[in-house]
Each structure stands twice: as C-alpha cells, then as structure tokens.
Amino acid sequence: MDIRTLYAHSPEATAAMNTAQLRRAFLAEGLFVPGEAHGVYTHHDRIAAFGIVPEREPIALPLPDQVRAEHLLQRREAGILNVGGPGTVTADGETYALAHTTALYLGRGTRDVTFASDDPSDPAAFYVFTAAAHAAHPNTLITRERMNIVELGDAASGNRRTLHQCVIEGRTASANIAFGFTTVHAGSVWNTMPPHTHDRRTECYLYFDLEPDDRVFHVMGEPDESRHLVVADRELVVSPSWSMHFGAGTGSYSFVWATSGENATYDDAEGIPVAGIR
C-alpha cells in the first residue's frame, strides 16, 4: 500500500511552478494497480482518496498513518464509484454489488470495509473519496435510479455532457461531501464549461474511461494565471478551493467530481467569464 501526501499550495506558489512541479503538487498517477490499493492524502481539506483494484483476493480499505485513527472511517465518510468491471463492497457485514459506474456512500463510523471483483479477468476498480465528517449518515447503494441525472451543454459549444449526482442534497445525505460523475458526449470535448471556483470546498477530479492514447488537458489556477495538467486514464487531480477547474479531452471520457469543505451545497460556486481567463 502506497499513500502519498500532497501538501497545500497558495496561488502565488502555484503560479511559479514548472510542469514537473505542478504534476507533483496536484496530480496523482498510478492509483489503480491490479491487486493493490494506493492513495493520496492531501492537506487541502484533509481529503484522502484511493484506487483499489482487487483481483482474486479481496482488499481491505486502507488505513493510512496520516489519518491517525483506529479505522479509516472512524471520523470520516466516503463516496465510492466503481470505474472497472463488476464487483462488491462489503461494509460491516453487508455486501453491495457495484457494476460499472454504480456508487456507494459509507457513513462515519463504518469500520470493516473490503472490496472484491466478480471476475479477475475483468477486475473492478474502486475509486474511494473520503473526508472528515461531523455526523453519521446511513450507508447507501446508489444505482442509476437513485442518482439525479442532468443534461448540460450543447453540441454547438462542444460541451454536451451528462451529470450524475450521487451523493447530493435531497437525494443521498452526507455530512460534508458532494460526489458524482460526468460523462462528456461523443463529439464534445469540454467539461465544466463555463468554469467556476467554490472557495469553501476542495474538489478532486478522477478522469476515467479514456482510451490509452487519449488525454485530458485539465486547466487550473487563478483566472489571470492559468496553468494546465495533461491527464491520462484513471489519474486524479486535486483542485484547491481557490482554483478554477475545467478541461478538454482528445477523445471520449468521464470524470468523478468530489468535493469536501465548509459547505456541501452543490451549486455553491462563483462563475468565471471565459473572456477573462489568461
């Protein structure tokens, strides 16, 4: 198990970084390794996120030294999305079946969590996003029927996409996190366009379902000091609360968006006029 720490960075420090420094500070590569669990712990809102790919044997939810707890969800909650083949999550004795892009919410206090694949030749790949929680809410399986699904954008603007809200106010309760995924339609390239910030929440993007040779150009930074990261399949970007976050892909792709911070309200955002970005 490898759990890497990502430290917090200011807008001024970020503006002075070169490409390699930006990637070390905000990008997590190599999270999804067959038969293993890997993760990152970021000082931005104390988020811990993991990629877990069980093959023939189940894998337990990791307990990084960074969280200083008896078990990972002792004081945390989790949003989980399966971005691989069919599998199961067993939480405190109850087993949940997760097909591709099925989600699961685990509340604060959930102790024993293991992940398994139905077929080792097509293993499940579980993305697990965790953050501090001040209250406990019920564990909930989130199939497509339980998601709030919203169509956004249009083909003329190259940003037609489908938003799947999984852990969201009014649907599945949480203490602090909002969690879901977006699929950009074939022929469109832009996600989260027009862009925005939300100064009271850190957001993480996990890009998935990219072809091996495709990439997403993820734009970050302040509007007058934009920077970008070139992101491959199943790579994770940590977006600080002060940073805008949007991107364009060279082919079809989806991404998990997950936030935590002072406020879990999904539309708590400040829009950024595209004409003002430099």
User: Regarding predicted confidence, which is higher, 200 or 187?
Assistant: 187
User: Chain-wide mean pLDDT for the chain?
Assistant: 95
d(CA 177, CA 43): 16
Residue 262 has pLDDT above 90, yes or no: no
> Tell me, what's the pLDDT at 197?
86
> Tell me, what's the pLDDT at 196?
86
Provide mean pLDDT across the span 147-170.
94
The neighbour count for residue 94, using CB atoms within 10 Å, is 10
d(CA 119, CA 125): 12
In contact, 225 and 13? CB cutoff 8 Å = no
Amino acid at 265: T
d(CA 121, CA 56): 9
Q: What is the pLDDT of residues 44-73, one digit of tens each?
A: 999 999 999 999 999 999 999 999 999 999
Amino acid at 214: D
Tell me the three state secondary structure of residue 21. helix
User: Quick one: which H or E segment has residue 13?
Assistant: helix 11-15
d(CA 102, CA 164): 10
In contact, 153 and 183? CB cutoff 8 Å = no
Domain residue limits, the chain: 2-276
Amino acid at 235: E
The neighbour count for residue 103, using CB atoms within 10 Å, is 27
Phi/psi region, residue 211 (left: phi>0; alpha: psi -120 to 50; beta: rest), is beta
Tell the CATH superfamily of the 2-276 domain: Jelly Rolls (2.60.120.10)
In contact, 40 and 28? CB cutoff 8 Å = yes
End-to-end CA distance of the chain: 40
In contact, 272 and 219? CB cutoff 8 Å = no
- The length of the chain, given as a count of residues: 278
d(CA 39, CA 21): 19
> Tell me, what's the pLDDT at 136?
97
What pTM does this model have?
0.96
Q: What is the pLDDT of residues 32-48, one digit of tens each?
A: 999 999 999 999 999 99
